[in-house]
Structure 1
Amino acid sequence: MNEQQSRIFDLFTHSLIHSFTHSIIRMEELLVKYVRNECSPEEEQWVIGWLQNPDNESRLRGLMRKQWSNPSVSGVESPDWQQMWMGIARQTKDLPMESEPPLYRTVWRQIARIAIWIGCIIAFGLGIRFLREAQLPADVIYQSGADQSMRVELTDHSSVILNKNSTLTVSSDWSGPNRSIWLDGEAIVDVAEQPIGFRLLIHTADHVVTEAQKARIFVARKDKKVRVVVEHGLANFVIHYSGMLGEMKKYALQRGGMAEYDEKSTQLIRRQVNPLTYTSWAQPE
Structure 2
Amino acid sequence: MTEATSVIRAYRTQDTFSNQARQAAVWQRIAAEAGPVARPTRQLPLPMPRRRLARVLRAAAVALPVGLGSLALWYNQEQRFQTAFGELKTVVLPDGTSVLLNGNSVLTYQRGWGKNSREVWLQGEGFFRVVHLNTDPAHIKPTERFVVHCHDLSIEVLGTTFNVHNRRKKVDVGLVSGKIKLTDTAAIAPTSLVLAPGDYVEYAAHTITAKQKLAHPEKLTTWSKRQFVFTNARLVDILQTLEDSYGYQIKYADNAIKQLKIEGEIQVTGVAPLLEIISTSLHVNIYQNGKQIIVH
TM-score normalised to the size of structure 2? 0.47
Higher Rg: 1
Higher RCO (Cα < 8 Å, 6 or more apart): 2
TM-score normalised to the size of structure 1? 0.49
Kindly indicate which of the two structures has a greater share of residues assigned to helix: 1
